[in-house]
Structure 1
Amino acid sequence: MAQNEINLIDLYKLNPENDGKDLIKKLQEWGALPKEGEYLCPNGHELGLYKDKSCIDGFKWKCSQMISKPKQKPSKCNYGASVRKGTFFARSHLSLFQICGFVHLWVHNSELRVIEKEMRISKRFTVDWSSFCREVVFDGMIRQAKQLGGNGSIVEIDESKFGRRKHYRGHRSKKETLLEIIKTWIKPGTTIMSDCWKAYNCLKNEGFQHLQVNHSIEFVDSDTGAHTNTIESSWRHAKASLPQYRREKSFFGGYLAKYMFMKMCKAARLDPTIEFFKYAGQLYSPLEELSDESENEEDEDDGDIEFSNISGVDAY
């Protein structure tokens, strides 16, 4: 657990303090909302945060600077914008506390029906915002992606089957496909541990040290100490994190991204709630005016979606 990890009570206490401005300040600190002086009005003036009871958050961005026009008296700019303008929160009319509470419970893997009850929100909201949250962590994991290994480092690789392929569709497990993935994500000179699948036999010729373990005989090679226990454990936990039913293919990347996000936070002793809002601020940049976007609906297959072999890595 991260030191000083925030909890739901902390978020609740921030909400009424200073008419809700303390929660806004905390979100500004995490990068999920812009800070004062960062927004500019169309006339190039810095916007300030002013109280406005007509707004759901009790505050709005406003320009109070004077503007001058030829042959006219100076007048106030009076440009205004929502606190949520262009941010992760712009999609909802719920309070900031309700959204923050949802995120906090979501990253801690609370059941959606529990979140609905505790935050007093609708089932439709929980379903939609679960999708938005997966989008945030997926983008964050892509931004964090980097090559593994190097000289003196060990990387375990293993394939995992998440289900059967339907309609006789083929498996993308050819040597060329796997080698392309390995060379993209693992540095040359790395010691790679794998099982004895023949598709891995070319690794020694591609600049890697390669150790294998024959699982039909033993789980740890008695001579080299090679094993794939770590990555196999990772795959087990990844599968356990998936929902039991309705594993839509279009959501699969988000499910794995959430698993990776939580694993990263635990390993680095980071608060997942705070890290989530940092990622949300990167994806929904508060300093960029976002146009309304219509969600593209993807075709969904009937019944359960089955997944083929997917290669994974674990480094140490």
Structure 2
Amino acid sequence: MANLNLIKLYDLFDCKIDGPLNERTLQSLQEWGLIPREGTYLCPEGHPLKLKQCAQSVDGYVWRCTTAIKGKKKNVRCDVYISLRKDTFFAKSRLSIFKIVAFAYLWVKNLTLDVIMEELSISNHTASDWSSFCREVVYDGMVVNKNKIGGLGKVVEIDESKFGRRKYHRGHRVEGQWVFGGVERETNRCFLVPVEKRDKETLLKIIKDWILPGTIVVSDFWKAYDCLSEEGYIHFRVNHSIDFKDPDTEQHTNTIEGLWRHVKCSMPQYHRKKLFFNGYLAKFMFNRNCKNCDTDRLSTFLKMAGRLYNPCSIKPVEEEEQEEYEIEISL
């Protein structure tokens, strides 16, 4: 389902914010990878579990095995069942699946937590937890499973910027954070990495992690970049104390200078924590990538969440894991 919005989501869930799911919703959750398909789970006897309706479950379904086992005197049913949410993005949450998906939608749209709390009627603690989970998803999708930028014939501008300085040295003191970044001029794809040091070893490692060899790299005259020509890159430098654009090579770093303005505007204005910078930057990279590729942000996010919280390692379900079902129906 392309170009999702709240109205389409509400319709997908049969205009209900909680209660049993319908087959159309289950199919969409499986397409996004949020719920595994049948055959993923095996019971202790090696039988594949199937989705079965269950009136006691908050989601209306459980994974269950009803295969008949041949006994000495009579056949018995292999009655194993576990929660629909086991090992998924929804595991152990008291929120309805609709509210979790709606939270993800509002979060990728950059609404503040105060607005999300009001719209979904959830607590500050719940909103903070799910915001953390969402940052974890985009960090895994954009950083852990990164796609390098640049390549032969491509131009990547690199720079560092300080986040969190006091304006004109007035107001309350804000903990600063240096961020190193790069942007591919042709596609606007970028990377952003918080750093504690801006020395050669730190920045060169990040450059090698993110930029393909043979790339044309444009930077300022920061001494840490002096070695790039020796590391397989075509390196141009711009002396900003003289010109914004080199008159001989016509190279510039205007693209990444503009990027910093957008990044800083996207950051939370209040309660910004240095600990969460990786997540903040990954979220900006995610939204920018979706815009550049013209892809639906929510669908892309949910597929990332499905890959991170992937329960598809096929293994027998231990009997004690059935306790999750009892937790689920008591919510």
Contact 1:11 1:23 in 2 (8 A): no
- Give the match for residue 271 of structure 2: 246
Task: Give, as a single letter, the amino acid of the residue that structure 2 aligns with 1:89.
Answer: F
SS of the counterpart of 2:87? coil
Contact 1:158 1:231 in 2 (8 A): yes
Matches within 5 A, 1:220-239: 220-239=245-264
Match status 1:124 vs 2:125: yes
Write out per-residue CA displacement over residues 48-70 of structure 1, whole angstroms, 9 at most, x where no aligned residue: 2111121111111111111234x
Equivalent pairs, count: 287
Matches within 5 A, 1:127-276: 127-163=128-164, 172-276=197-301
Q: In structure 2, how many angstroms separate the alpha carbons of the residues matched to 1:116 and 1:172?
A: 37
Q: In structure 2, how many angstroms separate the alpha carbons of the residues matched to 1:81 and 1:111?
A: 35
Write out per-residue CA displacement over residues 283-304 of structure 1, whole angstroms, 9 at most, x where no aligned residue: 1112248999xxxxxxxxxxxx
Q: Compute the displacement of 1:239 (Å).
A: 1.7
Task: Give, as a single letter, the amino acid of the residue that structure 1 aligns with 2:123.
Answer: S
- Give the match for residue 97 of structure 1: 98
Q: In structure 1, how many angstroms separate the alpha carbons of the residues matched to 2:196 and 2:87?
A: 41
User: So what's the TM-score if we normalise by structure 1?
Assistant: 0.83
Q: CA, structure 1 residues 271+61, in 2 after alignment: closer, same or farther (shift >3 Å)?
A: same
Write out per-residue CA displacement over residues 207-239 of structure 1, whole angstroms, 9 at most, x where no aligned residue: 321111111222122221111111222222122
Q: In structure 1, how many angstroms separate the alpha carbons of the residues matched to 2:116 and 2:67?
A: 43
Match of 1:10 among 8, 11, 25: 8
Contact 2:175 2:274 in 1 (8 A): no
SS of the counterpart of 1:27? helix
Identify which range, 76-85 or 200-209, moves more after superposition: 200-209
Q: CA, structure 1 residues 80+166, in 2 after alignment: closer, same or farther (shift >3 Å)?
A: closer
Write out per-residue CA displacement over residues 108-143 of structure 1, whole angstroms, 9 at most, x where no aligned residue: 111222212222222221111001111111111134
User: Could you list the runs of 5+ residues in structure 1 that have no partner in the other structure?
Assistant: 293-316
Task: Give, as a single letter, the amino acid of the residue that structure 1 aligns with 2:268.
Answer: P
SS of the counterpart of 1:88? coil
- Give the match for residue 307 of structure 1: none
Task: Give, as a single letter, the amino acid of the residue that structure 1 aligns with 2:7.
Answer: I
- Give the match for residue 305 of structure 1: none
Match of 2:68 among 45, 50, 66: 66
Task: Give, as a single letter, the amino acid of the residue that structure 1 aligns with 2:27.
Answer: K
Q: In structure 2, how many angstroms separate the alpha carbons of the residues matched to 1:19 and 1:282?
A: 22
Identify which range, 56-65 or 175-184, moves more after superposition: 175-184
Contact 1:66 1:76 in 2 (8 A): yes
User: Could you list the runs of 5+ residues in structure 2 that have no partner in the other structure?
Assistant: 166-173, 177-194, 324-331
SS of the counterpart of 2:156? strand
SS of the counterpart of 2:117? helix
Q: CA, structure 1 residues 143+180, in 2 after alignment: closer, same or farther (shift >3 Å)?
A: closer
SS of the counterpart of 1:89? coil
Q: In structure 2, how many angstroms separate the alpha carbons of the residues matched to 1:13 and 1:7?
A: 10
Contact 1:49 1:60 in 2 (8 A): yes
Write out per-residue CA displacement over residues 64-123 of structure 1, whole angstroms, 9 at most, x where no aligned residue: 111234x24211111111111110001312211111111111111112222122222222
Write out per-residue CA displacement over residues 241-280 of structure 1, whole angstroms, 9 at most, x where no aligned residue: 1111222222111111111111111111111111111111
Q: In structure 2, how many angstroms separate the alpha carbons of the residues matched to 1:147 and 1:117?
A: 39
Task: Give, as a single letter, the amino acid of the residue that structure 2 aligns with 1:29.
Answer: E
- Give the match for residue 78 of structure 2: 77
- Give the match for residue 302 of structure 1: none
Contact 1:86 1:287 in 2 (8 A): no
- Please list every run of at least 4 consecutive aligned residues from structure 1 whose deviation after the TM superposition is greater than 6 angstroms: 164-167, 289-292
Write out per-residue CA displacement over residues 6-31 of structure 1, whole angstroms, 9 at most, x where no aligned residue: 11111111212895332222111111
Match of 2:40 among 38, 41, 45: 38
Contact 1:155 1:193 in 2 (8 A): yes
Q: CA RMSD in A?
A: 2.5
Identity %: 51
Q: In structure 1, how many angstroms separate the alpha carbons of the residues matched to 2:10 and 2:67?
A: 35
Q: CA, structure 1 residues 244+52, in 2 after alignment: closer, same or farther (shift >3 Å)?
A: same
Contact 2:164 2:175 in 1 (8 A): no
